[in-house]
Amino acid sequence: MGILEIKDINKRFGGLQALGDVNLSVEEGTVHAIIGPNGAGKSTLLNCLVGKLEPDTGSVTFEGKSILGLKPHQINQLGISRVFQTPEIFSTLSVFENVMIACFAKRDGAFQLNPLTSIKGEKDIHEKVEQMLEDVNMADKRDHVAASMSRGDKRRLEMAMCLAQDPKLLLLDEPTAGMARADTNNTIELLKEIEEKRGITMVIIEHDMHVVFSLANKITVLAQGTPIVEDVPSKIKGNPKVQEAYLGGAHE
């Protein structure tokens, strides 16, 4: 029984079957990559896991509890954090404030009415933010306005915000999309470090095979909304079904 269990999920958009009978089990402590050609349903699947979309049929359980029908913030409070394809950060706030918001959300829950508390008095939160920024090597950028940073740094910040919440499961939607090679390698290093130090379970959706094969312990290949292969990385490359899915066999 994995930490995340997806059973018989179907999702239709009008006449398009975006997901058809997807079954997936993510084991605790693994890095599970989901790959597939464009339009295979990777992002739809991810959106079904975070409460943005609701599947038509099927079930999604996290640690044995169903998370279907929950709102994104409720799912996050259960311990699932998401990293977006384009970094979603609070761009007009400082790096420090960005991470601080994540820390408050972890400590105080989804809503806290504390208009008269002073932020400056929250010593434990300040310490935690400092620590988190050290961990992702951003301590020197703490007062930068988030919008002013490079793509790689924004990604790093988003990662820090997710990690500050000590998630049990980290979902990454193409974490290196549109990045320069150097930034991509930095991100891979960062993710490796997270995996080694913290042992957080991760689900990665990715186009870049270099990233996938550097990180994943297990790979699921999705084609036309259905998983066609699930295996360890070394066996995926030579699999004829995978080659067919990627090299256009689907058109015949």
Partner 1 sequence: MFGLDKRDTTLFLFVVAITLLAPFLLNPFPTESALAQFNAGYPDLMQRFVIFGIFAIGFNILFGLTGYLSFGHAAFLGVGSYAAVWMFKLLSFNIVPAIILSVLVAGVFSLAIGYICLRRSGIYFSILTLAFAQMSFAMAYSVLSNPNFNLTNGETGLQVYADDPQILKGDGPDFTHLFGLEMNTTKTLELGAWAFQFNAGFYVCAFFMIIAFYIAMRIFRSPFGLMLRAIKTNQTRLNYTGLNSRPYTLAAFVISGMYAGLAGGLLAVTDPLAGAERMQWTASGEVVLMTILGGAGTLLGPILGAAFIKYFENIFSKINDTVLHSWFSFMPESIDNFLVAILYPFVGKGWHLTLGLMFMLIVIFLPGGLVDGGQRLWNRITGKNRTQAEPVANPKPAE
Q: Interface with partner 1 by CB under 8 A: which residues?
A: 50, 71-73, 76-77, 81-82, 84, 88-94, 97, 100-102, 104-106, 108-120, 122, 145, 161, 165
Cβ closest to partner 1, residue 68 vs residue 145: 145
- Give least dist CB 122 to partner 1, A: 7
Q: How far is the CB of 139 from partner 1 (least distance, A)?
A: 19
Closest CB to partner 1 among 171 and 212?
171
Give the bridge partners for 9, in sequence order. 22
Q: How far is the CB of 124 from partner 1 (least distance, A)?
A: 12
Residue showing tokens 């990180």: 215
Q: Which is nearer to partner 1, 24 or 75 (CB)?
A: 75
DSSP per residue over 16-34, as a string? EEEEEEEEEEEPTT-EEEE
> 91 or 150: whose CB is closer to partner 1?
91
Please tell me the distance from the alpha carbon of residue 204 to that of residue 38, in angstroms, as a whole number.
15
What is the C-alpha to C-alpha distance for residues 199 and 31, in angstroms, rounded to an integer? Answer: 9
The C-alpha atoms of residue 119 and residue 89 are separated, in whole angstroms, by 20
Query: Shortest approach of partner 1 to residue 206 CB, angstroms?
Result: 19
Residue 76 or 187 with smaller CB distance to partner 1:
76
Query: CB atoms < 10 A from the CB of 210, how many?
Result: 13
Residues 6 or more apart whose Cβ sits within 8 Å of residue 238: none
Whether the CB-CB separation of 189 and 156 falls below 8 Å is answered with no
| Shortest Cβ 110–partner 1 spacing (Å) | 4
